Structure 1
Amino acid sequence: MSNRPVPFAATLHVRDTCLCLHTQRAARALARRFDEVLRSAGLTSGQFSLLMSLNRPEPPSIGSVAQLLAMDRTTLTANLKPLEREGLLTVEPDPKDRRARRLVLTDKGLARLAAALPIWIEAHGAIDAALGDERAQSLRNGLNALL
Protein backbone atom coordinates (compact mmCIF):
# COMPACT_ATOMS: atom_id res chain seq x y z
CA MET A 1 0.00 0.00 0.00
CA SER A 2 2.95 2.34 -0.45
CA ASN A 3 1.39 3.97 -3.52
CA ARG A 4 -1.45 5.55 -1.49
CA PRO A 5 -2.07 9.12 -2.69
CA VAL A 6 -2.36 10.31 0.92
CA PRO A 7 0.23 8.75 3.22
CA PHE A 8 -0.78 7.62 6.70
CA ALA A 9 1.78 10.07 8.09
CA ALA A 10 -0.42 12.88 6.71
CA THR A 11 -3.41 11.44 8.61
CA LEU A 12 -1.40 11.46 11.83
CA HIS A 13 -0.22 15.00 11.16
CA VAL A 14 -3.79 16.25 10.64
CA ARG A 15 -4.98 14.34 13.72
CA ASP A 16 -2.30 15.92 15.87
CA THR A 17 -2.26 19.49 14.51
CA CYS A 18 -5.59 20.41 12.86
CA LEU A 19 -7.17 23.27 14.79
CA CYS A 20 -10.51 22.64 13.13
CA LEU A 21 -10.54 18.98 14.21
CA HIS A 22 -9.46 19.80 17.77
CA THR A 23 -12.05 22.60 18.04
CA GLN A 24 -14.84 20.39 16.67
CA ARG A 25 -13.98 17.58 19.09
CA ALA A 26 -13.87 19.97 22.05
CA ALA A 27 -17.12 21.64 20.95
CA ARG A 28 -18.91 18.28 20.74
CA ALA A 29 -17.58 17.24 24.17
CA LEU A 30 -18.64 20.55 25.74
CA ALA A 31 -22.04 20.43 24.05
CA ARG A 32 -22.63 16.89 25.38
CA ARG A 33 -21.65 18.01 28.87
CA PHE A 34 -23.97 21.02 28.82
CA ASP A 35 -26.76 19.04 27.09
CA GLU A 36 -26.64 16.58 29.97
CA VAL A 37 -26.93 19.16 32.74
CA LEU A 38 -29.40 21.43 30.93
CA ARG A 39 -31.75 18.53 30.21
CA SER A 40 -33.34 19.06 33.63
CA ALA A 41 -34.34 22.57 32.47
CA GLY A 42 -35.77 21.19 29.23
CA LEU A 43 -33.09 22.68 26.97
CA THR A 44 -30.10 21.61 24.95
CA SER A 45 -26.89 23.61 25.04
CA GLY A 46 -27.69 25.06 21.61
CA GLN A 47 -31.18 26.08 22.70
CA PHE A 48 -29.77 27.68 25.85
CA SER A 49 -27.30 29.72 23.77
CA LEU A 50 -30.01 30.71 21.34
CA LEU A 51 -32.44 31.82 24.04
CA MET A 52 -29.66 33.64 25.88
CA SER A 53 -28.81 35.50 22.66
CA LEU A 54 -32.39 36.82 22.61
CA ASN A 55 -32.18 38.16 26.16
CA ARG A 56 -31.57 41.79 25.24
CA PRO A 57 -33.22 45.10 26.13
CA GLU A 58 -34.74 45.21 22.62
CA PRO A 59 -35.74 42.13 20.61
CA PRO A 60 -32.94 41.31 18.15
CA SER A 61 -33.26 40.75 14.44
CA ILE A 62 -32.73 37.33 12.96
CA GLY A 63 -29.62 38.63 11.20
CA SER A 64 -28.00 39.94 14.39
CA VAL A 65 -28.62 36.65 16.21
CA ALA A 66 -27.27 34.66 13.26
CA GLN A 67 -24.13 36.80 13.29
CA LEU A 68 -23.65 36.48 17.07
CA LEU A 69 -24.02 32.69 16.94
CA ALA A 70 -21.97 32.37 13.71
CA MET A 71 -24.91 30.60 12.01
CA ASP A 72 -26.43 31.11 8.61
CA ARG A 73 -29.99 32.40 8.67
CA THR A 74 -31.44 29.13 7.34
CA THR A 75 -29.88 27.09 10.15
CA LEU A 76 -30.95 29.66 12.73
CA THR A 77 -34.53 29.61 11.42
CA ALA A 78 -34.59 25.80 11.65
CA ASN A 79 -33.35 26.00 15.25
CA LEU A 80 -35.94 28.63 16.14
CA LYS A 81 -38.93 26.55 14.99
CA PRO A 82 -39.07 24.05 17.90
CA LEU A 83 -38.60 26.86 20.44
CA GLU A 84 -41.35 28.85 18.78
CA ARG A 85 -43.69 25.80 18.73
CA GLU A 86 -42.98 25.32 22.43
CA GLY A 87 -43.98 28.92 23.08
CA LEU A 88 -40.54 30.08 24.26
CA LEU A 89 -40.23 32.81 21.64
CA THR A 90 -42.19 34.57 18.95
CA VAL A 91 -41.06 35.89 15.58
CA GLU A 92 -42.64 39.29 15.01
CA PRO A 93 -42.43 41.95 12.31
CA ASP A 94 -40.06 44.79 13.07
CA PRO A 95 -42.23 47.85 13.82
CA LYS A 96 -39.76 50.07 11.92
CA ASP A 97 -39.36 47.78 8.89
CA ARG A 98 -42.21 45.33 8.28
CA ARG A 99 -39.96 43.20 6.02
CA ALA A 100 -37.57 42.47 8.90
CA ARG A 101 -38.33 40.08 11.77
CA ARG A 102 -37.57 40.43 15.48
CA LEU A 103 -37.15 37.53 17.90
CA VAL A 104 -39.02 38.02 21.16
CA LEU A 105 -38.61 35.88 24.27
CA THR A 106 -41.99 35.02 25.77
CA ASP A 107 -42.65 34.87 29.49
CA LYS A 108 -42.38 31.09 29.20
CA GLY A 109 -39.04 31.48 27.41
CA LEU A 110 -37.73 33.85 30.06
CA ALA A 111 -38.83 31.44 32.80
CA ARG A 112 -37.08 28.52 31.07
CA LEU A 113 -33.94 30.62 30.66
CA ALA A 114 -34.09 31.67 34.33
CA ALA A 115 -34.35 28.00 35.36
CA ALA A 116 -31.43 27.02 33.14
CA LEU A 117 -29.05 29.85 34.09
CA PRO A 118 -28.03 28.55 37.57
CA ILE A 119 -27.41 25.12 36.02
CA TRP A 120 -25.20 26.68 33.36
CA ILE A 121 -23.36 28.80 35.95
CA GLU A 122 -22.53 25.73 38.04
CA ALA A 123 -21.44 23.61 35.06
CA HIS A 124 -19.44 26.45 33.53
CA GLY A 125 -17.77 27.18 36.85
CA ALA A 126 -16.66 23.56 37.12
CA ILE A 127 -15.12 23.70 33.64
CA ASP A 128 -13.37 27.01 34.39
CA ALA A 129 -12.06 25.55 37.67
CA ALA A 130 -10.78 22.45 35.91
CA LEU A 131 -8.97 24.54 33.32
CA GLY A 132 -7.83 27.26 35.72
CA ASP A 133 -8.74 30.90 35.26
CA GLU A 134 -5.72 31.84 33.16
CA ARG A 135 -6.03 28.85 30.81
CA ALA A 136 -9.80 29.33 30.47
CA GLN A 137 -9.38 33.01 29.57
CA SER A 138 -6.56 32.19 27.17
CA LEU A 139 -8.80 29.63 25.46
CA ARG A 140 -11.64 32.19 25.13
CA ASN A 141 -9.21 34.77 23.75
CA GLY A 142 -7.81 32.31 21.23
CA LEU A 143 -11.23 31.21 20.04
CA ASN A 144 -12.46 34.80 19.77
CA ALA A 145 -9.40 35.66 17.67
CA LEU A 146 -10.65 33.21 15.05
CA LEU A 147 -13.95 35.04 14.57
Structure 2
Amino acid sequence: MKSDLLNCIGETQTCVAYNLRRASRIASKIYEKEMRGAPIHGPQFSLMIIIAKRGTETITGLARDIGADRTTLTRNLKQLERKGVVQISSGKDNRTKAVTLLPAGEKAIRESVRYWKKAQVKVLETLGEDRWSRMLGDLSAVAALGQR
Protein backbone atom coordinates (compact mmCIF):
# COMPACT_ATOMS: atom_id res chain seq x y z
CA MET A 1 0.00 0.00 0.00
CA LYS A 2 1.06 3.53 -0.59
CA SER A 3 2.20 5.41 2.49
CA ASP A 4 -0.44 8.14 2.00
CA LEU A 5 -3.16 5.48 2.03
CA LEU A 6 -1.70 3.98 5.21
CA ASN A 7 -1.78 7.44 6.78
CA CYS A 8 -5.47 7.77 5.89
CA ILE A 9 -6.22 4.35 7.35
CA GLY A 10 -4.37 5.27 10.54
CA GLU A 11 -6.38 8.47 10.84
CA THR A 12 -9.69 6.59 10.75
CA GLN A 13 -8.70 4.67 13.87
CA THR A 14 -8.96 7.90 15.85
CA CYS A 15 -12.01 9.22 13.95
CA VAL A 16 -14.65 10.46 16.40
CA ALA A 17 -17.59 9.48 14.17
CA TYR A 18 -16.21 5.99 13.46
CA ASN A 19 -15.57 5.22 17.12
CA LEU A 20 -18.90 6.62 18.33
CA ARG A 21 -20.82 4.62 15.70
CA ARG A 22 -18.89 1.45 16.48
CA ALA A 23 -19.51 1.78 20.22
CA SER A 24 -23.17 2.58 19.56
CA ARG A 25 -23.64 -0.48 17.34
CA ILE A 26 -22.01 -2.77 19.90
CA ALA A 27 -24.04 -1.37 22.81
CA SER A 28 -27.22 -1.52 20.71
CA LYS A 29 -26.63 -5.21 19.97
CA ILE A 30 -26.40 -5.94 23.70
CA TYR A 31 -29.63 -4.07 24.41
CA GLU A 32 -31.42 -5.69 21.46
CA LYS A 33 -30.39 -9.15 22.68
CA GLU A 34 -31.47 -8.52 26.28
CA MET A 35 -34.75 -6.86 25.24
CA ARG A 36 -35.87 -9.55 22.78
CA GLY A 37 -38.93 -10.54 24.82
CA ALA A 38 -40.02 -6.96 25.51
CA PRO A 39 -43.02 -5.41 23.76
CA ILE A 40 -40.80 -2.52 22.64
CA HIS A 41 -37.05 -2.38 22.35
CA GLY A 42 -34.07 -0.51 21.01
CA PRO A 43 -34.63 2.98 19.68
CA GLN A 44 -38.41 2.65 20.11
CA PHE A 45 -37.97 2.16 23.86
CA SER A 46 -35.75 5.23 24.20
CA LEU A 47 -38.09 7.33 22.09
CA MET A 48 -41.15 6.30 24.09
CA ILE A 49 -39.36 7.10 27.36
CA ILE A 50 -38.68 10.62 26.09
CA ILE A 51 -42.31 11.04 25.02
CA ALA A 52 -43.49 9.75 28.41
CA LYS A 53 -41.28 12.29 30.21
CA ARG A 54 -42.49 15.18 28.07
CA GLY A 55 -46.17 14.43 27.75
CA THR A 56 -47.30 15.79 24.39
CA GLU A 57 -44.38 16.98 22.25
CA THR A 58 -43.99 18.17 18.68
CA ILE A 59 -42.15 16.02 16.16
CA THR A 60 -39.81 18.97 15.54
CA GLY A 61 -39.00 19.22 19.26
CA LEU A 62 -38.39 15.49 19.55
CA ALA A 63 -36.18 15.47 16.45
CA ARG A 64 -34.10 18.34 17.80
CA ASP A 65 -33.69 16.74 21.22
CA ILE A 66 -32.69 13.28 20.01
CA GLY A 67 -30.55 14.55 17.16
CA ALA A 68 -32.58 12.88 14.41
CA ASP A 69 -33.98 14.29 11.22
CA ARG A 70 -37.75 14.77 11.10
CA THR A 71 -38.26 12.32 8.22
CA THR A 72 -36.62 9.40 10.01
CA LEU A 73 -38.33 10.27 13.28
CA THR A 74 -41.73 10.53 11.58
CA ARG A 75 -41.24 7.09 10.02
CA ASN A 76 -40.36 5.61 13.44
CA LEU A 77 -43.30 7.34 15.09
CA LYS A 78 -45.69 6.00 12.43
CA GLN A 79 -44.57 2.47 13.38
CA LEU A 80 -45.37 3.22 17.03
CA GLU A 81 -48.71 4.72 16.02
CA ARG A 82 -49.58 1.52 14.09
CA LYS A 83 -48.75 -0.46 17.24
CA GLY A 84 -51.25 1.71 19.11
CA VAL A 85 -48.76 3.04 21.65
CA VAL A 86 -48.57 6.70 20.54
CA GLN A 87 -50.93 9.13 18.87
CA ILE A 88 -49.82 11.64 16.25
CA SER A 89 -52.17 14.60 15.90
CA SER A 90 -52.19 18.12 14.53
CA GLY A 91 -50.37 20.61 16.69
CA LYS A 92 -51.56 24.01 17.84
CA ASP A 93 -51.25 25.65 14.42
CA ASN A 94 -52.01 22.70 12.08
CA ARG A 95 -48.53 23.02 10.54
CA THR A 96 -46.99 21.01 13.36
CA LYS A 97 -47.61 17.46 14.50
CA ALA A 98 -47.79 16.50 18.15
CA VAL A 99 -47.03 13.10 19.65
CA THR A 100 -48.70 11.73 22.77
CA LEU A 101 -48.08 8.47 24.60
CA LEU A 102 -51.24 6.35 24.86
CA PRO A 103 -52.17 4.07 27.79
CA ALA A 104 -51.02 1.06 25.73
CA GLY A 105 -47.66 2.83 25.39
CA GLU A 106 -47.40 3.30 29.15
CA LYS A 107 -48.13 -0.40 29.59
CA ALA A 108 -45.53 -1.36 26.97
CA ILE A 109 -42.90 0.77 28.74
CA ARG A 110 -43.72 -0.80 32.12
CA GLU A 111 -43.42 -4.29 30.62
CA SER A 112 -40.16 -3.42 28.84
CA VAL A 113 -38.32 -1.77 31.73
CA ARG A 114 -37.22 -5.04 33.35
CA TYR A 115 -35.60 -6.12 30.07
CA TRP A 116 -33.91 -2.74 29.74
CA LYS A 117 -32.62 -2.94 33.33
CA LYS A 118 -31.07 -6.32 32.57
CA ALA A 119 -29.22 -4.85 29.58
CA GLN A 120 -28.19 -1.78 31.56
CA VAL A 121 -26.75 -3.91 34.37
CA LYS A 122 -24.85 -6.06 31.88
CA VAL A 123 -23.20 -3.04 30.25
CA LEU A 124 -22.50 -1.24 33.54
CA GLU A 125 -20.93 -4.35 35.08
CA THR A 126 -18.43 -4.33 32.24
CA LEU A 127 -17.80 -0.58 32.15
CA GLY A 128 -18.05 0.19 35.84
CA GLU A 129 -20.02 3.09 37.33
CA ASP A 130 -17.06 5.50 37.42
CA ARG A 131 -16.13 4.98 33.79
CA TRP A 132 -19.77 5.29 32.72
CA SER A 133 -20.14 8.52 34.69
CA ARG A 134 -17.12 10.00 32.88
CA MET A 135 -18.35 8.70 29.52
CA LEU A 136 -21.78 10.21 30.10
CA GLY A 137 -20.18 13.60 30.63
CA ASP A 138 -18.05 13.16 27.52
CA LEU A 139 -21.05 12.09 25.44
CA SER A 140 -22.99 15.12 26.67
CA ALA A 141 -20.15 17.32 25.44
CA VAL A 142 -20.29 15.65 22.01
CA ALA A 143 -24.09 16.04 21.91
CA ALA A 144 -23.71 19.73 22.76
CA LEU A 145 -21.87 20.18 19.44
CA GLY A 146 -25.27 19.84 17.78
CA GLN A 147 -26.65 22.73 19.84
CA ARG A 148 -24.19 25.24 18.41
Correspondence 1:44-123 to 2 at 5 A:
44-56=41-53, 58-94=55-91, 96-123=92-119
> Match of 2:131, as an amino acid?
R
Deviation at 1:13, TM superposition (A): 3.0
- Tell me the SS of whatever aligns to 1:71: coil
Q: Quote the Cα distance in structure 2 between the aligned partners of 1:115 and 1:83.
A: 16
TM-score w.r.t. length of structure 1: 0.88
> Match of 1:104, as an amino acid?
T
Q: What is aligned with 1:8?
A: 6
Paired residues of 2:63 and 2:70 also in contact (CA < 8 A): yes
- Tell me the SS of whatever aligns to 1:56: helix
TM-score w.r.t. length of structure 2: 0.87
Q: Which has the higher helix share?
A: 2
Number of residue pairs matched? 143
Structure 2, gaps ≥5 residues long:
144-148
Q: Quote the Cα distance in structure 2 between the aligned partners of 1:56 and 1:135.
A: 26
- Runs of 4+ in structure 1 off by over 4 angstroms are none
Q: Quote the Cα distance in structure 1 between the aligned partners of 2:6 and 2:55.
A: 53
Query: Whose RCO is larger (CA < 8 A, sep 6+)?
Result: 2
Structure 1 residues 63 and 79: alpha-carbon distance in aligned structure 2, compared to 1, 3 A threshold: same
Q: What is aligned with 1:140?
A: 136
Q: Quote the Cα distance in structure 2 between the aligned partners of 1:11 and 1:23.
A: 17
Identity %: 27
Please say which structure displays the higher CA radius of gyration.
1
Structure 1, gaps ≥5 residues long:
none
